[in-house]
Amino acid sequence: MVKPSAEVLIIGAGLSGLAVATFLKHKQPGISLLVLEQGDHPGGAVRSHLEEGYLAEGGAHGFLDNCLESRVLVHEVGLDSEVEKAPLAEFVRYVCLDGELKLIPQQPVKILKAPLIPLTAKLRVLAEVLQKPLPGEPTVAQWVEHRFGKALLPFADAVFTGTYAGDIERLKIEAVMPGLYTMEQTHGSVLKGLVNKVRSGRKDGKKKKGLPAMTSFSAGMERLPQAMAAGLALNREIMYRTAARSVEKTDEGWLVRTAQLELHCRHLVLALPVNRCLALMVDTTVVAPPMSSIPEARIATVALGFTDQAQIPFGFGYLAPECENRFALGALFSSHMFPGRAPEGHVLMEVLVGGRRHPERLELADDQIIDKVYLDLKELIDLPEPPVFSRLLRPKSGIPQLEEGYPALLSWRKRLHQDIDNLHLCGFGWQGIGINDMHKEAWKVAKRILVGLLDEESDEIKGIYF
Ligand SMILES: Cc1cc2nc3c(=O)[nH]c(=O)nc-3n(C[C@H](O)[C@H](O)[C@H](O)COP(=O)(O)OP(=O)(O)OC[C@H]3O[C@@H](n4cnc5c(N)ncnc54)[C@H](O)[C@@H]3O)c2cc1C
């Protein structure tokens, strides 16, 4: 019998892989595990950038505090005292419409009352209860227009620009909003489904939940993977600069090859973005995936520092739907949410550029992108002086796009998990793209390893973190 290198081998030290490892250690401190990471630091798509007193994020800006798994992780790695929160109830969001920033109220009823769309369009939204479900695999745009009418398309566009940097003409509703899609399928209407949910919550005595808060850390989002990795490094349970090149099923479990090593394990966790995972899976002896890759959207973040002469509206930030034809996808008003992110007397905005529809914009030089972003913002926000600080951050990671064929890919993963009890696929793009999605999936993987329980895929209503 081959001696295993570790009982559990986790490939990838992004939030997913580190969360699986942290949950496993939490529940079973003596477990033998090893994390392999191709890079020289933990965190994958999460990268904080501190320069001249401005703290910006090259990747994720935060996560909502309404996810138990994320709260457990933060507590487990001792970061409770470093948490910073921006409650959504206080930090309103804006959508750019007709060349102006329009405030979006935080509650659905107030949204309906606000003068954002004409009365006829509001009545059309309510007529959703009469619409039959759309057959096939509709895109977000097809589905929203069919159910709620054309007037809601710019708002749906803004939502999926803020999360996926995606194109609603291509994202599949079933993949990106499984909870709403299931409501339509089971209740015949989303509005009816929502009313039912509220009623049954009341019957069960559930308290009405307030709006969640956007959460980060005083030293930025990278603090979370750093803290998770530090615990593993103490016991030499993480290896950097070690890329898995192939994975192979053996009688005892799995064999993973890197440039220098052959590692054996009982449980193999691929905690990787969908495409990296598929690249490792195509040559295994198990059933081939229905596709070898999915599209990704790239974005860049432009961090802009201004003196406090800049009249940035109070709130979380804004998003611009495609129909507005703007250069930037939107911006976060970062130092409003997290005041320590700019030097005294200054403010920080983080502006997003590129996305699924405009990869060509990222081919411009850094200076050109920064100039174009500033000109774009100046039309929307009162900025009497040019920025005193600017930096373009180009994340290496693309954002997986859940488009044509993605439901079949999820079914393939489900079958794989049913057939092979010691293989676990999770990570960026599997069952969601947000940090909370990653942590929920990581917990399911840990549970499956520890007690052999395969959770049903849930059709929850996903939070919107922008
Ligand atoms: C620009 C951007 C902004 C975002 N903003 C938000 C946000 O505000 N809120 C939010 O909730 N989510 C956000 N997200 C999503 C969030 O960052 C991801 O959900 C999360 O970071 C994914 O973690 P992961 O571990 O699954 O994947 P990754 O972070 O991609 O980590 C995978 C790791 O695996 C390593 N790896 C890859 N291949 C191999 C191999 N063969 N061998 C060994 N190691 C390997 C990589 O180097 C990497 O470290 C954003 C993502 C991006 C890109």
- Domain end, chosen from 174, 203, 232, is at 203
DSSP 34-58: EEE-SSSSS-TT--EEEETTEEEES
CATH of residue 412's domain is 3.50.50.60
- Domain end, chosen from 378, 394, 410, is at 394
211 domain residue, yes or no: no
288 with 412, same domain: the answer is: yes
Whether 395 lines ligand 1, by a CB cut-off of 6 Å, is: yes
- Domain end, chosen from 345, 375, 394, is at 394
Whether residue 199 is predicted with pLDDT greater than 90 in this model: the reply is no
275 with 323, same domain: the answer is: no
Whether 351 lines ligand 1, by a CB cut-off of 6 Å, is: no
Which of 164, 221, 254, 272 for a ligand 1 pocket mutation test, highest count of atoms within 8 Å of Cβ?
Answer: 272
Q: What distance in Å separates the CA atoms of residue 62 and residue 466, rounded to the nearest whole number?
A: 9
287 with 421, same domain: the answer is: yes
Q: Cα of 150 to ligand 1 centre, how many Å?
A: 34
Structure confidence by residue, pLDDT tens digits, 201-252: 777 776 667 788 999 999 999 999 999 999 999 889 999 999 999 999 999 8
- Which pLDDT band, with edges at 50, 70 and 90, does 3 fall under? low
Which of 16, 261, 362 for a ligand 1 pocket mutation test, highest count of atoms within 8 Å of Cβ?
Answer: 16
290 with 407, same domain: the answer is: yes
305 with 289, same domain: the answer is: no
Locate the ligand 1 atom nearest the alpha carbon of residue 399 and give its number: 53
Q: Cα of 320 to ligand 1 centre, how many Å?
A: 24
272 with 337, same domain: the answer is: no
Structure confidence by residue, pLDDT tens digits, 360-405: 999 999 999 999 999 999 999 999 999 999 999 999 889 999 999 8
290 with 304, same domain: the answer is: no
- Mean pLDDT taken over the chain: 92
Report, as an integer, the average pLDDT of 165-190: 92
334 domain residue, yes or no: yes
Whether residue 51 is predicted with pLDDT greater than 70 in this model: the reply is yes
> 146, 151, 209: which is closest to 180 by C-alpha?
146
Q: Cα of 17 to ligand 1 centre, how many Å?
A: 10
Burial class (CB in 10 A: 0-12, 13-18, 19+), 148: buried
How many domains in the chain? 3
Locate the ligand 1 atom nearest the alpha carbon of residue 58 and give its number: 1
410 with 377, same domain: the answer is: no
Q: Bridge partners of 83?
A: 217
33 with 163, same domain: the answer is: no
What pLDDT does 204 receive? 73
255 domain residue, yes or no: yes
Element (H, E) at 332: strand 328-332
Report, as an integer, the average pLDDT of 22-32: 95
Q: pTM of the prediction?
A: 0.93
Whether 463 lines ligand 1, by a CB cut-off of 6 Å, is: no
283 with 423, same domain: the answer is: yes
68 domain residue, yes or no: no
> 398, 385, 389: which is closest to 348 by C-alpha?
389
Query: Worst-scoring range by mean pLDDT, 162-171, 188-197, 368-377?
Result: 188-197
Whether 438 lines ligand 1, by a CB cut-off of 6 Å, is: yes
High-pLDDT (> 90) share of the chain, %: 77
347 domain residue, yes or no: yes
307 with 164, same domain: the answer is: no
Which structural domain range is residue 133 located in?
108-203
Structure confidence by residue, pLDDT tens digits, 303-358: 999 999 999 999 999 999 999 999 999 999 999 999 999 999 999 999 999 999 99
Report, as an integer, the average pLDDT of 277-304: 90
DSSP 343-404: -TTEEEEEEEEE-TT-GGGGGS-HHHHHHHHHHHHHHHSB--S--SEEEEE--SPPEE---T
17 with 30, same domain: the answer is: yes
Whether 277 lines ligand 1, by a CB cut-off of 6 Å, is: no
Report, as an integer, the average pLDDT of 167-195: 91
Whether residue 91 is predicted with pLDDT greater than 90 in this model: the reply is no
